[in-house]
Amino acid sequence: MSDYLWLNPFFIIYAVAVIFILGLLIGSFLNVCIYRIPLGQNIAISRSHCMKCGHVLKWYELIPLFSWLIQGGKCRSCKEKISIQYPIVELGNALSWMAILAIWGFRPVTILYCACASCMIVISIIDERTKEINLGLNLFIGLLGIARVVLDYRNWLYFVIGLFAVSIPFLIIVIVSKERAMGLGDVYLMAAAGLLLGWKHVLLATVIGCTLGSIIHLIRMKISKKGKELAFGPYLCLGIYLTILFGNPILKWYISFLVH
Ligand SMILES: [Zn+2]
């Protein structure tokens, strides 16, 4: 592709709009994953249907965001309320892609980070509900990590160290606490994320995730007035996502702080 095309503002606006719509559509698929994976259902087979009356959704009822708004959040057939989680996940996925695109631009690594963000939306919601992180979802991020090593093969050691930087200490915590403090799912998540981000970045993601996790968890316990078991995955995912966006400037600032 010629450089000229990338400098054309109309082409950029068009490309961003297409990626936003694709983000909504993939968000719609993430909703299917969030519902079906904990039930052990196949995510590819059988058309989407109302969970109450079994009404099979027509094509215009599958348009992300708008179908929910037009139908007023209800099934057209039985008027059962459709959770607001559906449009939120669709819009959230598209917006999370937009932020990554704004910072990383049109590069191969942007695709890996967007795929990781989408996968982490599914991981976070399922972990929050079931306190479990599906191995297949962690493996998916691991595959993105392998792609990152291939793309950035000159720095392969940075990513391979990342594979172990947080996962080994986490594994020790799991063994010592007998899976009370965290689960093996968190270990695999940080191994996969380490391969995708590299060791300094995955350490930063862990610091951000643990800090935000303890603050938000304390607030939530205050509000609900009961000790609730902590799902660690969503906070780790938040740390990973913020590191994807702001990791480079934060690490640069921190290292200049150490040197001076
Ligand atoms: Zn229905």
- What does pTM read for this prediction? 0.92
Ligand 1 centre distance from Cα of residue 53 (Å): 4
Total domain count, the chain: 2
Show which of 45, 80, 106 is a domain's final residue.
106
Render each residue's pLDDT in the chain as its tens digit; 260 residues: 556 666 788 888 999 999 999 999 999 999 999 999 999 887 776 677 887 888 888 878 878 888 888 888 888 888 888 888 999 999 999 999 999 999 999 999 999 999 999 999 999 999 999 999 999 999 999 999 999 999 999 999 999 999 999 999 999 999 999 888 789 999 999 999 999 999 999 999 999 999 999 999 888 888 876 666 778 999 999 999 999 999 999 999 988 888 76
Show which of 53, 84, 106 is a domain's final residue.
106
Both 130 and 99 in a single domain? no
Both 91 and 121 in a single domain? no
Beta strands in the chain (DSSP E): none
- Extract the tokens encoding 104: 């990383």
Ligand 1 centre distance from Cα of residue 178 (Å): 43
pLDDT, position 125: 97
CA-based R_g, the chain, Å: 20
Both 189 and 253 in a single domain? yes
Ligand 1 centre distance from Cα of residue 134 (Å): 29
Ligand 1 centre distance from Cα of residue 69 (Å): 16
Both 155 and 257 in a single domain? yes
Give residue 7's domain range.
1-106
pLDDT, position 229: 72
DSSP 167-225: HHHHHHHHHHTTTSS--HHHHHHHHHHHHHH-HHHHHHHHHHHHHHHHHHHHHHHHHHT
Show which of 86, 106, 126 is a domain's final residue.
106
The total number of residues written for the chain in this structure? 260
Ligand 1 centre distance from Cα of residue 79 (Å): 6
Ligand 1 centre distance from Cα of residue 49 (Å): 8
Is residue 216 situated within a structural domain? yes
Is residue 80 situated within a structural domain? yes
Is residue 84 situated within a structural domain? yes
Both 14 and 52 in a single domain? yes
Both 48 and 144 in a single domain? no
Contacts 24+ apart (CB under 8 A), 61-65: 62/28, 64/24, 64/25, 64/27, 64/28, 64/90, 65/24, 65/90, 65/91
Ligand 1 centre distance from Cα of residue 54 (Å): 6
Ligand 1 centre distance from Cα of residue 78 (Å): 4
Both 136 and 223 in a single domain? yes
Ligand 1 centre distance from Cα of residue 112 (Å): 36
Ligand 1 centre distance from Cα of residue 232 (Å): 34
Residue 56 bridge partners (DSSP): 49
Is residue 28 situated within a structural domain? yes
Both 6 and 92 in a single domain? yes
Ligand 1 centre distance from Cα of residue 21 (Å): 26
Ligand 1 centre distance from Cα of residue 142 (Å): 37
Both 96 and 122 in a single domain? no
Ligand 1 centre distance from Cα of residue 47 (Å): 14
Both 248 and 131 in a single domain? yes
Ligand 1 centre distance from Cα of residue 119 (Å): 28
Is residue 87 situated within a structural domain? yes
Ligand 1 centre distance from Cα of residue 12 (Å): 40
Both 138 and 37 in a single domain? no
Is residue 39 situated within a structural domain? yes
Both 164 and 252 in a single domain? yes
Is residue 20 situated within a structural domain? yes
Is residue 111 situated within a structural domain? no
User: Are 161 and 200 in contact, with CB atoms under 8 Å apart?
Assistant: no
